[in-house]
Amino acid sequence: MKKLFLFISVLAFALAGCGGPSKEGQQGDSDAVNNDPNQVLYDQVMDIHDEVMPRTEDLHNLKKKLQEQIAATPDMVVEERQKLERRIARLDSVDKMMMDWMHYFDLPDSLTDEARREYLETQMEKIKQVREAILEAIASEKGSN
């Protein structure tokens, strides 16, 4: 768990550091940053990431509760245990979606404006899918208890 937290922290720091020009550090007119449609799109993608990233902790907590439930009931009926294990696998899968998205998100500076826009639009769709999957998994688990 400590390694995962460290990995997420380092990755978040790296993404923040590689995010391009910051609005505060931009020289000249700050409206120039706000008028760059690719920067606006990038910020929207990061906003969704920042919205759901803290929810991965909810996934970990829900998984831990299910694992504790299994551990506390050694004589659990096989079908019930398998059901709990499938719920754990779903939580793991959704968490992996977020980790994979973060791992593969890479916006090279060498792309043309059009290529950057296309890349960011694709990433917007992907992070929206991640958000939906995370929120659905959490809601489903909370409804199962």
Higher pLDDT, 102 or 143: 102
Region 76-95 average pLDDT: 97
pLDDT at 143: 85
Residue 56 to residues 52, 91, 126, Cα–Cα distance (Å): 7, 9, 16
Structural domains counted in the chain:
1
Region 59-64 average pLDDT: 97
pLDDT at 46: 98
119 in a structural domain: yes
% of the chain beyond a pLDDT of 70: 76
* CA–CA gap between residue 84 and residue 69 (Å, rounded): 9
89 in a structural domain: yes
Q: Which domain holds residue 116?
A: 29-144
For residue 18, pLDDT beyond 90 = no
Could you tell me the pTM of the whole model?
0.74
Residue 64 to residues 2, 9, 88, 99, 145, Cα–Cα distance (Å): 15, 21, 9, 18, 14
106 in a structural domain: yes
User: Comparing C-alpha atoms, which of 115, 135, 141 is closest to residue 53?
Assistant: 135
Widest CA span in the chain: 68
1 in a structural domain: no
